[in-house]
A and B are shown apart, each in its own frame.
Chain A
Amino acid sequence: MWEQIRANRRKSVALVIVMAGILLIFGFVIGEAAAPGAGPGGVFLALIIWLIMSLISYFAGGAIMLSVSGARKIEKQDNPRLFNIVEEMQLASGLPKMPDVYVIDDHAPNAFATGRDPQHCAVAVTTGLLNICNRDELQGVIAHEMAHVKNRDVLLMIMVGVLMGTIVMLADGLLRAFFWGGGGRRRSRTSSSKGGQAQAVMLIVALLLAILAPIIAQLLYLAVSRKREYLADACGAQFTRYPEGLASALEKISASTHDLRRANRATAPMYIINPLKQEGMAAANLSSTHPPIDERVRILRGMGGGAGYNDYESAYRKVTGKAGILPSGALAGSQPAEARQAIDDKEALKSDVERVRETTDMLWKMKNYAFIPCACGVTLKVPPGFNRPEIKCPHCGTAHKTQAT
């Protein structure tokens, strides 16, 4: 486990350095194109932008992500089942601290984890996910998310995302400046024709970079982020010892026709499944932050009764025909693990109706509605502003006292 985190850290640092290199070269070229000798100034400017954005997202990224997605924190009594599952997975993954649990009121089933390190982490799930998943499936999803925290994937996403954002921003700015500021360049050419020529070359290089840099950065980023998804799946199987749970959850999530209302391109890579539905394009495979779901499911189902990293690795080879996906450090240090049986107790095998009721009740409670059970079996939900002393049951007509009295 530690081997794997260390290997991840090395790769993350390498990726960040490469992308920072792209950014700085880009800054230099832009500077030179703007005025001869201003290259270092451009580098400096790029550095400052990068630094400020990194600091903001390092310290506030999690909070921003949670508030953008409309997530709300819950306590144990709001949803004991979800809370318990998160606690179970915290124990299985050996994370030092229980993550905060958030719920997003959205019919689209999805989930994500945030937090720069295990001390500052949170998991968020949508109510849609709570509605369709049984205990085993929910466990699989949470395990996948905890694996992202444990493997420091979230930190990588933050750092790389910021770099990518900065590169795209500079490229955008440059292209815009080119279209609007063409006149200024011509005037400077008259002052010294030699410097003007060098500057024109620089300008062409800058334009090329403005087009290429974002693409290169994105491809690098995608390759890494997809690898991390596979790794998180493997960890999820290892934590739960039940690959089928995650497999069937992924299937259910991808079969859903709901779109996540508050997801955008910036937050998409954080979710367990890409929340933005892609129109059937061949390029979708290359430009997606997530591996194709049917492939993930087939790998998880092909683990042949095992739940260890080695089982995942051989299933991956069989399904994709590629050499392998998991870091060798993880494979060497891993213990063989056998998959367990499905959880077989009545509480876990609740019907969909019961689950939906449980979730909606949770939402009512979070909005401070009071619950009054009636003898006829109906539960009255009283809104927080209700100030009459009595309320009648709409089913049987019995009068109940409210808390307003």
Chain B
Amino acid sequence: MGGAVVLIVVVAAVIIALMVMGTYNGLVRLRNAVKNAWSQIDVQLKRRHDLIPNLVETAKGYMKHERETLEAVVKARNLAASARESGNVANSASAESQLSGAMANLFVVVERYPDLKANQNFLSLQEELTSTENKVSFARQFYNDSVMNFNNKIEMFPSNIVAGMFKFKAADFFEITEAAQREAPKVSFS
């Protein structure tokens, strides 16, 4: 009789231990997925920050009267670069959306300079930048999906117990404020 009880207890303990182990490993896997997804964004952000000075340099020669626009881009770029280096996801996101706004302004202004638009170097830089922006947003999509999976697992029962035991913290989303990105740049042709 006593032997049976002990056996049941032991079996139950083993099953619980296995379940905890499985959940823990699942959480670690998801957390690594989030980390990996973030490093993908990081690579693209860095590439974007590296490309912008080249673009500004090329544009400068043609756009004598657009110093303000160019300076705004350089300023936004420097802010975003330092935010990236600090590693704070939320700061980085807001700096990036400002940079996107400044870049959108620049590309609107470029329309007034046909010589610049025909410049081969500028064209290939523009393709690179456009694509890098796309890459940032696609990497962001994937990152946010990974964060969602991870955070769901942390908050949902029963994995939340294991997450609490081993102090897993929810990850931050990388949100770019749509307003700053979507806002149509104001241009006057007067």
Q: Which residues of A contact B (CB under 8 A)?
A: 1, 80-81, 84-85, 87-89, 91-94, 239, 241, 333, 335, 343, 345-348
Task: Decide if A92 touches B131 in the complex (CB within 8 Å).
Answer: no
Q: Is the CB of A81 within 8 A of B127?
A: yes
Q: Which of B96-145 contact A (CB under 8 A)?
A: 107, 111, 117, 123-124, 126-128, 130-131, 134-135, 138-139, 141-142, 145
Question: Could you say which of B37, B124, B135, B149 contacts A87, with CB atoms under 8 Å apart?
Answer: B135
Given A80-B128, A335-B148, A345-B107, the answer on whether A91 and B123 have CB atoms closer than 8 Å is: no
Cα distance A192–B107 in the bound complex, in angstroms: 91
The docked-state distance in angstroms from the alpha carbon of A346 to that of B128 is 13
Residues of chain B at the chain A interface (Cβ within 8 Å): 37, 40, 44, 107, 111, 117, 123-124, 126-128, 130-131, 134-135, 138-139, 141-142, 145-146, 148-149
User: Which residues of B are found within 8 Å of A333, using beta-carbon distances?
Assistant: 149
What residue of chain B has the Cβ atom nearest to residue A92's Cβ?
Answer: B138
B28 to chain A, nearest CB (A): 14
Nearest CB of chain B from residue A344's CB, rounded to whole Å? 10
How far in angstroms is the closest Cβ of chain A from B187? 15
- Closest chain B CB from A115 CB (angstroms): 20
A91 partner, pick from B127, B128, B130, B142, beta carbons under 8 A: B142
CB <8 Å contact, B37 and A94: yes
In the docked arrangement, what's the CA distance between A347 and B146, Å? Answer: 31
Check A347 against B127 for contact (C-beta < 8 Å): yes
Which residues in B have their C-beta under 8 angstroms from that of A348?
130
**Chain B residues within 8 Å of A80, by CB:** 124, 127-128, 131
The interface residues of chain A lying within 8 Å CB-to-CB of B124 are: 80
Chain A residues with Cβ below 8 Å from B37 are: 94
Given the known interface contacts A87-B131, A88-B135, A88-B138, the answer about A347 and B145 at a Cβ–Cβ threshold of 8 Å is: no
Q: Are B130 and A89 in contact (CB under 8 A)?
A: no
Q: For the complex, give the distance between the alpha carbons of A348 and B146 in Å.
A: 29
Task: Compute how far the CA of A91 lies from the CA of B107 in the bound complex, rounded to whole angstroms.
Answer: 25
CA A299 to CA B117, docked complex, whole Å: 39
**Which of B40, B44, B123, B142 has a CB less than 8 Å from the CB of A347?**
B123
CB-contact partner of A335 in B128, B135, B145, under 8 A: B145
Pair B126/A91 contact, Cβ less than 8 Å:
no
Is the CB–CB distance between A347 and B128 below 8 Å?
no
Query: A203 to chain B: closest CB distance in Å?
Result: 54
Nearest CB in chain B: distance from A79 CB, A: 11
- Could you tell me the distance between the alpha carbons of A92 and B135 in the complex, rounded to whole angstroms? 8
The distance in angstroms between the C-alpha atoms of A87 and B135, with both chains bound, is 8
Q: Which residues of B contact A343 (CB under 8 A)?
A: 130, 134
Contact call A91/B139, Cβ cutoff below 8 A: yes
The 27 listed contacts between A and B (C-beta, < 8 Å) are A80-B124, A80-B127, A81-B127, A81-B131, A84-B127, A84-B128, A84-B131, A85-B131, A87-B131, A87-B135, A88-B135, A88-B138, A91-B44, A91-B135, A92-B138, A92-B141, A92-B142, A93-B142, A94-B37, A239-B138, A239-B141, A335-B145, A335-B148, A345-B107, A347-B127, A347-B130, A348-B130
